[in-house]
Amino acid sequence: GNSVTQMEGPVTLSEEAFLTINCTYTATGYPSLFWYVQYPGEGLQLLLKATKADDKGSNKGFEATYRKETTSFHLEKGSVQVSDSAVYFCALGDTGGFKTIFGAGTRLFVKA
Amino acid sequence: KAGVTQTPRYLIKTRGQQVTLSCSPISGHRSVSWYQQTPGQGLQFLFEYFSETQRNKGNFPGRFSGRQFSNSRSEMNVSTLELGDSALYLCASSLVTRGGNNEQFFGPGTRLTVL
Quick one: which of A9, A75, A66, A69 has its CA closest to A32? A66
Residue B97: which pLDDT band, with cuts at 50, 70 and 90?
low
Indicate if the pLDDT at residue B98 is higher than 60. Answer: no
Among B43, B45, B108, the residue with its CB nearest the CB of A42 is: B108
Q: Which residues of B touch A41 (CB under 8 A)?
A: 108
Mutation for testing the A interface, residue in B5, B60, B101 having most A CBs under 10 Å = B101
Per cent of chain A over pLDDT 70 is: 99
**Residue B26 DSSP code:** P
For residues B82 and B92, give the distance between their C-alpha atoms in angstroms, rounded to a whole number. 24
Residue B92: which pLDDT band, with cuts at 50, 70 and 90?
very high
Q: Give chain B's end-to-end CA distance (angstroms, integer).
A: 37
Give the up-direction half-sphere exposure of residue B26: CA atoms within 13 A in the CB hemisphere. Answer: 15
Is the CB of A34 less than 8 angstroms away from the CB of B109?
Answer: no
Per-residue model confidence as pLDDT tens digits over B28-83: 999 999 999 998 888 999 999 999 999 999 999 999 999 999 999 999 999 999 99
Alpha helices per DSSP H over A23-104: none
Give B97's contacts (C-beta < 8 A, 6+ positions apart): none
Q: Is the peptide bond before A10 cis (omega within 30 degrees of 0)?
A: yes
Per-residue model confidence as pLDDT tens digits over A44-66: 999 999 998 999 999 999 999 99
Residue A87 contacts B where some CB pair is shorter than 8 Å: no
Confidence (pLDDT) at B99:
55
Is the CB of A95 less than 8 angstroms away from the CB of B100?
Answer: yes
Separation in Å, CA of B14 to nearest CA in chain A: 23
Among A31, A46, A102, the residue with its CB nearest the CB of B43 is: A102
Question: Which has more confidence, A94 or A80?
Answer: A80
Is the CB of B104 less than 8 angstroms away from the CB of A46?
Answer: yes
Residue A105: which pLDDT band, with cuts at 50, 70 and 90?
very high
Confidence (pLDDT) at B62:
96
